[in-house]
Structure 1
């Protein structure tokens, strides 16, 4: 954040005529990229929607609708695909995914809620959790380590639906509302990109939308919780926070907006430097509008961000103070393995991409 404050201060005293050149000079001195381009290559096309994407052990794993899931080798682009069906007529939709050292877990959205455990070595699939309830709808899933994981879903009984595993996904249990904070009526979450949850160490953050746009935080793996307000737009049926990412335990970003007004870029992105206790709006009225995912780009010291949504792909080299639109191609979710290479998933396709900057 010190670098960002320095840039903002420098800009304030520059003349309009020289500001662009001076910004480039300041950025160069601080090793901050001011320009970026993207090269996108389609890897897989199909009539499926993919909102869940994760990376581990050299493979990108994905899960989508119509029971589709699979992996893509990051080095070769070679896909391996699978399909799960309850019966001949009933298809399931996956919107949550998480990988550990040896397994990949995929979770359905909607009733019934089903967690499948996939052995990465041989592709064996095992159903490890089932929940049948008309209101059930899970949004995101993450793991702290190979043994402990968490998934969150829309409210039932006035609190989030939270399931956890402590034994490597062999068994899952649902937390009672007495162990969880209360939600405001109409507050929920969006299964848009598997990015409602972020985990670092023992810490976990979860974000909401709808009637409220808040951050739920726990420093003890979900045993106790604190709730933080944000300036993100809320109160509408499709407003709020759609994604959260943290660079470390202090520096984090959130993004979302109004799905029904996707071009609106006010009150839809914010940054924190104190672990989520307080949030400041980013480039309000500039940069991306509605976005379903955001990520700190690896290897850039928390300075570079990439945001994606159906309106396109955006990049920032200064922690979201300024943005550049890289592409009009729309995607739901993004995963990167280093400062240049990553994958995008969306409607009917999964693509690899490479960033170049200067």
Structure 2
């Protein structure tokens, strides 16, 4: 195992807030500053912590961190300021990592496929959960607080796979299907951008996709669950919600479509204003087609959204009713540092985005 100068590691920045959060603004362009470009780079796992440090992991088993302590690993004599990653291997397996979560105490790295591997990185890198079911496939991970977290995956039985920790990520337990809504035929999730889970306080929303695309909801940090239907396009394995985000307990947005028909704009953008109980199609036949990630712009009163995918970057300042295509540059996932700066990652590169 060795450090590889491939991926920019956790970088610290100071977050700033809008002087007037209620003032309506509109972005008309995005400046893209490429931070790292490499032909072997493929990143769908990206996260920013409370201090503004961001980190990510790759499909080639690499994790990185600067100003965030992943653990004590040999650096092969590289200077401390060097950009480097640490490559994870498990037996002969190089994990394909699609999900990251960070707390104030640790970082968590979750791979797709079987065996599913979940690592906790603090003073050391430790495997804290392994699932060998042949259908194991985890899509996303998030935390309510430093002690309690959740990861979701495709069904291995007759419900979505959900694992939960209550002890800071040291141990994880899989919920019984007796305690979860039953999955429909062909219902699963997409490991496209690590945004299948949205958390506001104790409230949790999980977006499923495929032949059925619904929203699972828990008001109490995963203790109890119910499920809500959505009108997003579904019915085939490649359709449904690919990303969900909530601004507050009432306002949420989800986007997706069919990645094999990426220009189609019908029924691929939905919005809720009642906490996810009911969803409505917006901008039908207009705006972006398939996108893998959507995020609310901070301090925007649930009005501003940015959606990205391999077909480009789109922006709305009216809660998704209309959209402005800002760039053809493609990314898989995005996280906002503040209300005008974000970091995005995708195929062959990671970039800083300045919205203007």
Which TM-score applies when normalising by structure 2?
0.87
Name the SS of the counterpart of 2:326 in structure 1. Answer: strand
Which of 30, 33, 54 is 2:25 aligned to?
33
Alignment pair present for 1:96 and 2:99: yes
Q: Quick check: 2:133–2:156 contact (8 Å CA) kept in 1? A: no
CA distance in 1, matches of 2:317, 2:109: 33
Q: Which residue of 1 aligns with 2:259?
A: 259
CA distance in 1, matches of 2:290, 2:216: 21
Q: How far did residue 78 of structure 1 move?
A: 7.4
Alignment pair present for 1:172 and 2:172: yes
CA distance in 2, matches of 1:204, 1:321: 25
Structure 2 segments unaligned to the other structure (5+ residues): 1-21, 69-80
Instruction: Map residues 113-152 of structure 1 onto 2, 5 A cutoff.
Output: 113-119=116-122, 124-152=124-152
Name the SS of the counterpart of 1:36 in structure 2. Answer: coil
Q: Which residue of 1 aligns with 2:315?
A: 315
Alignment pair present for 1:42 and 2:34: yes
Q: Quick check: 1:189–1:242 contact (8 Å CA) kept in 2? A: yes
Instruction: Map residues 69-84 of structure 1 onto 2, 5 A cutoff.
Output: 69-71=63-65, 79-84=83-88
Q: Which residue of 2 aligns with 1:105?
A: 108
Moved more, 160-169 or 222-231: 222-231
Q: Which residue of 2 aligns with 1:211?
A: 211
Q: How far did residue 318 of structure 1 move?
A: 1.1
Alignment pair present for 1:303 and 2:303: yes
Instruction: Map residues 16-31 of structure 1 onto 2, 5 A cutoff.
Output: 31=23
Pick the structure with more helix per residue: 1
Per-residue CA deviations over 1:212-249 (Å, capped at 9, x if unaligned) read 11111110111211211111000012000001000000
Q: Which residue of 2 aligns with 1:85?
A: 89
CA distance in 2, matches of 1:173, 1:196: 19
CA distance in 2, matches of 1:331, 1:209: 20
Q: How far did residue 33 of structure 1 move?
A: 2.3
Alignment pair present for 1:59 and 2:63: no
Q: How far did residue 204 of structure 1 move?
A: 0.4
CA distance in 2, matches of 1:218, 1:323: 31
Pick the structure with more strand per residue: 1
Figure out how many residues of one structure are paired with residues of the other and give that number.
321
Q: Quick check: 1:147–1:169 contact (8 Å CA) kept in 2? A: yes
Per-residue CA deviations over 1:21-62 (Å, capped at 9, x if unaligned) read xxxxxxxxx832244210011112231211111101231110
Q: Quick check: 1:72–1:78 contact (8 Å CA) kept in 2? A: no
Which structure would you say has the larger Rg?
1
Q: Which residue of 2 aligns with 1:283?
A: 283
CA distance in 1, matches of 2:187, 2:52: 37
Structure 1 segments unaligned to the other structure (5+ residues): 1-29
Name the SS of the counterpart of 2:153 in structure 1. Answer: strand
Alignment pair present for 1:244 and 2:249: no
Name the SS of the counterpart of 2:64 in structure 1. Answer: strand
Q: Quick check: 1:73–1:79 contact (8 Å CA) kept in 2? A: no
Q: Quick check: 1:50–1:95 contact (8 Å CA) kept in 2? A: yes
Q: 1:71 to 1:45 in 2, by over 3 A?
A: farther
Q: Quick check: 1:68–1:82 contact (8 Å CA) kept in 2? A: yes
RMSD after superposition: 1.6
Q: How far did residue 80 of structure 1 move?
A: 4.3
CA distance in 2, matches of 1:322, 1:160: 33
